[in-house]
Amino acid sequence: MKQTNKLWQNQTALLPLIEEYTVGNDHEIDQKLLPYDVLASKAHAAMLVKTGVLTTSENDKLQAGLDRVLEKWQKGDFKVTREQEDVHTALENYLTTKYGEIGKKIHTGRSRNDQALVMIRLYLIEQLETIADSMSKLSATLLDKAEQNAQVPMPGYTHTQKAMPTTVGLWLASFAAGFQDSEGFINSTAKLLDQNPLGSASGFGVESAVVDRNFTTKALGFARTQENPLYCGLSRGMFEGVTLQTLAMPMQLCGRFAADMMLFTMQEFGYFSLPASFTTGSSIMPQKRNYDLFEIMRANVRAYLSKASEIQQIVAGLISGYNRDVQITKRLVVEGIELCVQTIAVTESVVQQMHVHEDVLKTAMTSDLFATARVYKLVEQGMPFRDAYLKIKQELGV
Amino acid sequence: MKQTNKLWQNQTALLPLIEEYTVGNDHEIDQKLLPYDVLASKAHAAMLVKTGVLTTSENDKLQAGLDRVLEKWQKGDFKVTREQEDVHTALENYLTTKYGEIGKKIHTGRSRNDQALVMIRLYLIEQLETIADSMSKLSATLLDKAEQNAQVPMPGYTHTQKAMPTTVGLWLASFAAGFQDSEGFINSTAKLLDQNPLGSASGFGVESAVVDRNFTTKALGFARTQENPLYCGLSRGMFEGVTLQTLAMPMQLCGRFAADMMLFTMQEFGYFSLPASFTTGSSIMPQKRNYDLFEIMRANVRAYLSKASEIQQIVAGLISGYNRDVQITKRLVVEGIELCVQTIAVTESVVQQMHVHEDVLKTAMTSDLFATARVYKLVEQGMPFRDAYLKIKQELGV
Amino acid sequence: MKQTNKLWQNQTALLPLIEEYTVGNDHEIDQKLLPYDVLASKAHAAMLVKTGVLTTSENDKLQAGLDRVLEKWQKGDFKVTREQEDVHTALENYLTTKYGEIGKKIHTGRSRNDQALVMIRLYLIEQLETIADSMSKLSATLLDKAEQNAQVPMPGYTHTQKAMPTTVGLWLASFAAGFQDSEGFINSTAKLLDQNPLGSASGFGVESAVVDRNFTTKALGFARTQENPLYCGLSRGMFEGVTLQTLAMPMQLCGRFAADMMLFTMQEFGYFSLPASFTTGSSIMPQKRNYDLFEIMRANVRAYLSKASEIQQIVAGLISGYNRDVQITKRLVVEGIELCVQTIAVTESVVQQMHVHEDVLKTAMTSDLFATARVYKLVEQGMPFRDAYLKIKQELGV
Amino acid sequence: MKQTNKLWQNQTALLPLIEEYTVGNDHEIDQKLLPYDVLASKAHAAMLVKTGVLTTSENDKLQAGLDRVLEKWQKGDFKVTREQEDVHTALENYLTTKYGEIGKKIHTGRSRNDQALVMIRLYLIEQLETIADSMSKLSATLLDKAEQNAQVPMPGYTHTQKAMPTTVGLWLASFAAGFQDSEGFINSTAKLLDQNPLGSASGFGVESAVVDRNFTTKALGFARTQENPLYCGLSRGMFEGVTLQTLAMPMQLCGRFAADMMLFTMQEFGYFSLPASFTTGSSIMPQKRNYDLFEIMRANVRAYLSKASEIQQIVAGLISGYNRDVQITKRLVVEGIELCVQTIAVTESVVQQMHVHEDVLKTAMTSDLFATARVYKLVEQGMPFRDAYLKIKQELGV
């Protein structure tokens, strides 16, 4: 009987149409998050020894069982199915099947709500650390490249028109500055996330000595316990939105870098180019060398921003307490994180490999770029700025 | 050598990081759309006979080969891989491997751009028809249920507060009216989509007698040819956005129906209920009966609206001509369509199965709901409306 | 006593903080919509004669009073204030102050809910007609310009790289095709809106002979009555969203035209230019000629799309019956319509005045644009397409 | 001649249609931001003394002139007009008209780009401080109210169904925890903004001794100079997006509090109520007491989130250097900030004044809320959790 797979086991089976609609692809996302559920479950079981729910030997078996799940998962042998609904059910089912009675005890003092909360939080904290590292590497790469090209002139554009002279070095360093500034945010968000929601159960806590929240806080390395159980619930989806919005700044920087590269690799500019291994061709135009990666990056940045906003809209009008709407935010946050990780890696690779065509850039430094410099020369000779500006404007016949 | 799988075959292989980033999961979506590519490819091959590129026997082989692909696909034996990038490449590779020389000829007079355009368009037209049918069925179901409950009273709410009396019949019929009005739009969009983009090649047409666009228009059953090849390109992504926005009205109606049902199935109301096969339980609270489907519906409606808006933002600022950004819109439109199909099916099922608790509703018809009726009684006796209103207000002590 | 201005007149005054928050700038938007409220009020008063609530002479006074309001408004002498909350209250207050008793009777059989519904609907229908006209004019202008430039060559771009030859004529005509296709939608939406919500009162109708809905339907020129009063309520906000989404297609076309113009007016291209009266300068760079209008257009298109999506998100999760959330959609739809009207007018003006630099475009037709034509020459000589493609690719050394 | 009002003064006047389209209502927003432009202009003028562009007496006049502008503004006597385009032009025009020659000198070493950047930044930093203060006050008010109601029972809901017992105290404190956590973010963003962009001129800096950036950094109290001038440009719009996203967390909390209040003030619940001065009535239903403020709050939160996302989409795909698209973000950020300030003030007022109906809440504590407690009792007696859960479930007949 299929229904017995579920942790809530009603007597009437759920309609397949409703099951498909409500579970959707959630089990596929849970498949990715399994290690974090194992980690939290191990801490939870250890805690249950302390509070007397489990014996040491029961706990040993559960720890071994959970380790076994992780091993199987790493080999691709542990699958969360749609009928199980989620990884939490898959885990409990496995333990109960293998170890009987004690598998039934592990859910003591927790709910799938706090299991999901702690699993996602551990995942996000780890991802933020990884991304912070890759961004700091990207800043360094940009600054290296900027230094190599510190003296290479480049037309500066405003209103998509040539404006004033700048350098390739300054241009590259402007992105580095943005990535560096983003790091402060990531730290701030990591600090926000660094509070343990495990033990909030279904959002109202457990009024029983079977739970010792500080134990799992310590065991999982959280900086603090997220004390108010209703706040744990409120933070589901909201913290996911905050996390994606935190990374919106580096994503936007990547999007703007892509826009620049798209323009400056056009044949009409030719300021920069990338090795052939970065470009694609056309199925009917034999001459083409396309920088598809920047088009995809540009679109991915918009897709990323949409996901971040989508999470916010989904949770914005919900009443307190668990609402299953938040399930939809799980896939969005994982996809968003993956887009961010990839986009930064691709940008890093592009900066490392880009060719700067110094000769082309020098030729592009046409005289109009220096009109403002002529104004300032007059200013330095004592003419009021606005008069100098008008004088040069008149000379240029504009 | 992996690279030879691609239709544009450069001498230098694409970096794996870049391939993964640019192709993403696009091949998985193409896997779903294969039948439409086969259909269009068959029409294209038949056209090439007419223009003398293929002999009849070459065409026969291609037709058989394409039918074979479809059969394999139906059995789950034809897979589009990431290295192939897309279904178009998978098809040509298959034909070339199996039939040699003639497989190389099928791409004559087309590009992957117009292949994708026509494939997606055929898919969308078919889906719109299916959805229009299911919506018309849903309207009928709602009206049936409305008729059955035409006399069942129900409190009407404004500002989420009891306002005036209404009936379950009127309430259900209000949604039916909305779904019926939506059908006009769907027809209008279906008419917009009903123009053949095949033959626009990479967006600039083919200046050669090898292409006869009217032939494929007729063969594929399109109402007309989308003449201007640059307009074919412009419409990629834009038509997808239009399609999802067309279905935004029925989706919003579902979202609002879900909001009503969520409220009126609360224990504090109990106006309506659904059979146990529609509800879920809790992993720790044994008493729970949850209407998860409405929570998921509510979130899915927001997710749907986000996808529709995301498509628009992705294409909004692009220059003319093919930009690979549009690839990202393919997945979004397919996911959106699938959400819509499912949401309407679930709503249909809910309306059919919902219990209307007439006794509870009758008890809920408290006297405050009739205050306005008292005002109108005074008006009918000749008192100016505003005075009657104030008189009753005073009597109620508000 | 300030509170007596309100139609609902509680004994306790509303806190200023709450009044400011809830009314916001709504009265400023209502100021623009006043003529439509007057129009509907005149039809409503005429109806009340038929149903015996008003005498003919009372109605004559009300008609004169309403005409007087419109006159004052046209001269800028009639102002809706924040304390009045909305134009509906301002109208009733004016009539009651000027005509006493009969002013108190005009609200018979209606609520502010259906007053707002019918006012906005009349406004939207009129705007859609105006926009359809201006779009049809824009299509004609584009086609004229296209015909004048039918033979002027222009590089076609894919992936923001030179791809194949096209013409200025085809490029301009591609936008015309899009605007022409948009007209079908506008008609479809106009038809949806063409149903009279007046008489639905606060969303539950009026169970009294004082209201004859068909009378106002005819008097206001609606095609039909929106029968179900709850559907009238459901359509508030939803129809506004539909209207803006209908115009999203022409707006996106404008956005893409702007993107093209921004690129092709760069000094590095110089394909097109506009007279000096369309461009701006810089406060410090005397040489600049900036095409700010395309930047603003690009941003306005995104702002427009955001507004359309915002309306949808605001109403998506509401329960049935009036919710004041919809008030926020009024400003959004009016701002959206105004953006659309302006954007089309500016585009029209740009197309009329743009200079096509034929000599520059001819110089831009470099040999790489003709690589595909060379492939097709080989195909016409009998070589399979893919082989011809590879042969030319090899010759080009790509 | 109208055109002479502009800082860039072309010989050909800008078309009125184009002027209206490009300037829009930007001058109205600038009207609000004037004090920050005055502040920055004073610092800039003082700097020009140090670098020898202005004499001390010239500076004294400019300082007095700028103070005079501020005084006039405070009295409502200084208006930025559309022909002037912006506050920067209005200021320079005023100074030049009043003081002649020296008014022409103040623009030395700056552009309208960095003037706008520094003006907006000073505004945002000040607003963030104000908001942080009001949020900290709101947290305190919530905690006070929570303490007063620490023992008042309240049903906890999951899936919008009664779930487990909680208290009014815990419920209120959960929002306080969220507001407190938000403060960390606001500080982080305030720190990001705390860098001086003045002196970056039009985005490429000024290569001249007339500018001493550290001087204005110190004079304006910035923590540091935003060194890279291209980064100053990149940050326009992006920092505005970051700021609004920072406040998205408290805004979402307000939205969710509004959703709770909307439900719990329904007649069917009656858990909480607000004084009559917070509620409105109906124009036709004399009995109504509506909590409009929560509907507006709910909609405003969605409007706020849309604005935040809109800013991001507007800047996401722009190339480096100034693009006028960012002008549109100015109005959005100011409107967003104002919504946030108001929403927090209204929430504060609501929490202070809300009545907690203890008797109603006690009655609402039905036995089903205690089912999980019964499970835990069995667990404490040694039964495995899942068995205890099933036993109670069976007893409840679910």
Question: In the structure, what pLDDT confidence band is assigned to residue A11 with cuts at 50, 70 and 90?
Answer: low
> What pLDDT is stored for residue C11 in this prediction?
64
**Rounded mean pLDDT, A270-298:** 90
> What pLDDT is stored for residue A283 in this prediction?
72
Which residue of chain B is at minimal alpha-carbon distance from C157? B321
Q: Which tens digit of pLDDT belongs to each residue from B117-128?
A: 999 999 999 999
Provide long-range contacts, Cβ within 8 A and 24+ apart, for D351-355. Answer: D351/D138, D351/D141, D351/D142, D351/D145, D351/D172, D352/D141, D352/D145, D353/D274, D353/D275, D353/D278, D354/D145, D354/D261, D354/D272, D354/D273, D354/D274, D355/D272, D355/D273, D355/D274, D355/D275
> What pLDDT is stored for residue A3 in this prediction?
40
Give the span between the Cα atoms of D365 and D360, in whole angstroms.
9
Q: Does D197 touch chain A (CB under 8 A)?
A: no
Contacts of D191 in chain A (CB under 8 A): 184
Q: Does B210 touch chain C (CB under 8 A)?
A: yes
Contact C208 B165 (CB under 8 A): no
Contacts of D279 in chain C (CB under 8 A): 10, 14
> What pLDDT is stored for residue C283 in this prediction?
72
Q: Does D159 touch chain A (CB under 8 A)?
A: yes
**Rounded mean pLDDT, D360-384:** 90
Q: Does C279 touch chain D (CB under 8 A)?
A: yes
Contacts of B207 in chain C (CB under 8 A): 373, 376
Q: Does B345 touch chain C (CB under 8 A)?
A: no
Contact B159 D392 (CB under 8 A): no
Q: Does A346 touch chain B (CB under 8 A)?
A: yes
Q: Which tens digit of pLDDT belongs to each residue from B152-198?
A: 999 999 999 999 999 999 999 999 999 999 998 899 999 999 999 99
Contacts of D233 in chain A (CB under 8 A): 174
Which residue of chain A is at minimal alpha-carbon distance from B85? A280
Question: In the structure, what pLDDT confidence band is assigned to residue D238 with cuts at 50, 70 and 90?
Answer: very high
C198, C229 Cβ separation under 8 angstroms = no
Question: In the structure, what pLDDT confidence band is assigned to residue D1 with cuts at 50, 70 and 90?
Answer: very low
The b-or-e profile of D207-240 (16+ CB within 10 A means b, else e) is ebebbebebbbebbebeebbbbbbbbbbbbbbbb
Q: Which tens digit of pLDDT belongs to each residue from B301-340?
A: 999 999 999 999 999 999 999 999 999 999 999 999 999 9
Q: Which tens digit of pLDDT belongs to each residue from B359-371?
A: 999 999 999 999 9
Which 68-127 residues of chain D touch chain A by CB within 8 A? 92, 96, 101-102, 104-108, 113
Give the span between the Cα atoms of C149 and C173, in whole angstroms.
10
- pLDDT surpassing 80 at residue C357: yes
Contact B285 A323 (CB under 8 A): no
Distances (CA, A) of C72 to C75, D184, D319: 5, 53, 49
Which residue of chain C is at minimal alpha-carbon distance from B307? C309
Most confident of the ranges C299-308, D202-211, D283-292, D383-392: C299-308
**Rounded mean pLDDT, A233-245:** 97
| CA–CA min distance A165, chain D (Å) | 7
pLDDT averaged over every residue in chain A? 93
Give the span between the Cα atoms of D144 and D166, in whole angstroms.
18
Contacts of C284 in chain D (CB under 8 A): 107, 110-111, 201-202
Alpha helices in chain C (DSSP H): 16-23, 26-50, 56-74, 87-99, 101-105, 112-148, 168-193, 213-219, 229-235, 238-246, 248-264, 292-316, 327-353, 358-363, 371-380, 385-396
Q: Which tens digit of pLDDT belongs to each residue from B238-261?
A: 999 999 999 999 999 999 999 999
Testing the interface with B: which of A18, A21, A283 to mutate, by most B Cβ within 10 A?
A283
Q: Does B275 touch chain A (CB under 8 A)?
A: yes
> What pLDDT is stored for residue A84 in this prediction?
85
What is the number of alpha carbons within 13 Å of residue D194 lying toward its C-beta? 15
Contacts of A390 in chain C (CB under 8 A): 286
**Rounded mean pLDDT, D40-61:** 95
Q: Does C299 touch chain B (CB under 8 A)?
A: no
Alpha helices in C317-357 (DSSP H): 327-353
Which residues, at least 6 apart from D49, have a Cβ–Cβ distance to it below 8 Å? D55, D56, D58, D59
Tokens 């552009």 correspond to D111
Question: In the structure, what pLDDT confidence band is assigned to residue D9 with cuts at 50, 70 and 90?
Answer: low
Q: Does C349 touch chain D (CB under 8 A)?
A: yes
| CA–CA min distance B334, chain D (Å) | 23
- pLDDT surpassing 70 at residue B4: no
> What pLDDT is stored for residue C207 in this prediction?
75
Contact B188 C184 (CB under 8 A): yes
Contacts of C295 in chain D (CB under 8 A): 323-325
Question: In the structure, what pLDDT confidence band is assigned to residue C338 with cuts at 50, 70 and 90?
Answer: very high
Residue B157 one-letter amino acid = Y
Q: Which tens digit of pLDDT belongs to each residue from B19-64?
A: 999 988 898 999 999 999 999 999 999 999 999 999 999 999 999 9
Strand partners for D167? D153
Residue D65 one-letter amino acid = G
Give the span between the Cα atoms of B389 and B375, in whole angstroms.
6
Contact A292 C159 (CB under 8 A): yes
Which residues, at least 6 apart from A142, have a Cβ–Cβ distance to it below 8 Å? A172, A173, A175, A176, A179, A351
C112, C88 Cβ separation under 8 angstroms = yes
> What pLDDT is stored for residue D2 in this prediction?
38
> What pLDDT is stored for residue B5 in this prediction?
60
**Rounded mean pLDDT, A315-332:** 96
pLDDT averaged over every residue in chain D? 93
> What pLDDT is stored for residue B1 in this prediction?
31
Contact B285 D158 (CB under 8 A): yes
**Rounded mean pLDDT, D26-31:** 92
Testing the interface with A: which of D309, D324, D332, D395 to mutate, by most A Cβ within 10 A?
D309
Distances (CA, A) of B139 to B136, C394, D282: 5, 61, 32
| CA–CA min distance C45, chain B (Å) | 13
CB-count burial class (<10 Å; 0-12, 13-18, 19+) for D204: buried
Percent of chain C with pLDDT over 90: 76
- pLDDT surpassing 90 at residue B138: yes
CA dihedral D170, D174, D177, D183 (to 10 degrees): -150
Q: Does A163 touch chain C (CB under 8 A)?
A: yes
- pLDDT surpassing 80 at residue B11: no
Alpha helices in A281-353 (DSSP H): 292-316, 327-353
Give the span between the Cα atoms of B356 and B361, in whole angstroms.
8
> What pLDDT is stored for residue C9 in this prediction?
60
- pLDDT surpassing 90 at residue D390: no
Q: Which tens digit of pLDDT belongs to each residue from B342-361?
A: 999 999 999 999 999 999 99
- Give the number of A-B residue pairs with CB atoms closer than 8 Å: 173
Q: C248-264 and B238-246 are packed helices; what angle lies between their axes, rounded to 10 degrees?
A: 160
Question: In the structure, what pLDDT confidence band is assigned to residue D306 with cuts at 50, 70 and 90?
Answer: very high
**Neighbouring subunits of A (3+ Cβ pairs under 8 A):** B, C, D
> What pLDDT is stored for residue B326 in this prediction?
97
Q: Which of these ranges, A36-45, B216-225, C302-311, D20-29, has the smallest mean pLDDT?
A: D20-29
**Six-digit token pair at C219?**
């008097």
- Give the number of C-D residue pairs with CB atoms closer than 8 Å: 172
> What pLDDT is stored for residue D208 in this prediction?
73
Testing the interface with D: which of C6, C10, C11, C22 to mutate, by most D Cβ within 10 A?
C22
Contact C385 B107 (CB under 8 A): yes
Contacts of B259 in chain D (CB under 8 A): none
Nearest 5°: CA angle at C208, between C207 and C211? Answer: 105
Which residue of chain B is at minimal alpha-carbon distance from A88? B283
Tokens 């507001």 correspond to D179
Residue closest to C269 by CA, chosen among B319, B232, B229, D22: B319
Contact A160 C269 (CB under 8 A): no
Q: Does A318 touch chain D (CB under 8 A)?
A: yes
- pLDDT surpassing 60 at residue A17: yes
**Six-digit token pair at A29?**
């996302």
Residues written for chain B: 398
**Rounded mean pLDDT, C248-254:** 97
**Rounded mean pLDDT, D111-127:** 96
Tokens 């600049």 correspond to C288
> What pLDDT is stored for residue C3 in this prediction?
40
| CA–CA min distance B185, chain D (Å) | 26
Contact A286 C398 (CB under 8 A): yes
A210, D151 Cβ separation under 8 angstroms = no
- For D163-228, give the DSSP string: EEEEEHHHHHHHHHHHHHHHHHHHHHHHHHH-EE-TT-TTTT---STT--HHHHHHHTT-SEE---
> What pLDDT is stored for residue C124 in this prediction?
98
Q: Which of these ranges, B286-300, D7-21, D345-359, has the smallest mean pLDDT?
A: D7-21
Dihedral of alpha carbons C2, C7, C12, C17, sign: negative
Give the span between the Cα atoms of B132 and B120, in whole angstroms.
18
A17, A201, A349 ranked by CB distance to B345: nearest: A17
The 3-state DSSP class for residue C203 equals coil
Testing the interface with A: which of B4, B6, B7, B21 to mutate, by most A Cβ within 10 A?
B21
Residue A103 one-letter amino acid = G
**Rounded mean pLDDT, C97-125:** 92
Q: Does B53 touch chain C (CB under 8 A)?
A: yes
Which residues, at least 6 apart from B368, have a Cβ–Cβ distance to it below 8 Å? B162, B396, D267, D287
**Rounded mean pLDDT, D278-307:** 91
A21, A107, A110 ranked by CB distance to B293: nearest: A21
Give the span between the Cα atoms of C368 and C165, in whole angstroms.
10
Quick count: other Cβ atoms within 10 Å of Cβ C363? 10
- For C296-315, give the DSSP string: HHHHHHHHHHHHHHHHHHHH
Residue closest to A176 by CA, chosen among A196, A202, A147, A204: A147
| CA–CA min distance D285, chain A (Å) | 27
Q: Does C18 touch chain D (CB under 8 A)?
A: yes
Q: Which of these ranges, A78-92, A357-371, D304-318, has the smallest mean pLDDT?
A: A78-92
| CA–CA min distance C387, chain D (Å) | 39
Quick count: other Cβ atoms within 10 Å of Cβ D85? 25
Contact B287 D390 (CB under 8 A): no
Testing the interface with B: which of A111, A290, A296 to mutate, by most B Cβ within 10 A?
A296
- pLDDT surpassing 70 at residue C145: yes
Question: In the structure, what pLDDT confidence band is assigned to residue B10 with cuts at 50, 70 and 90?
Answer: low
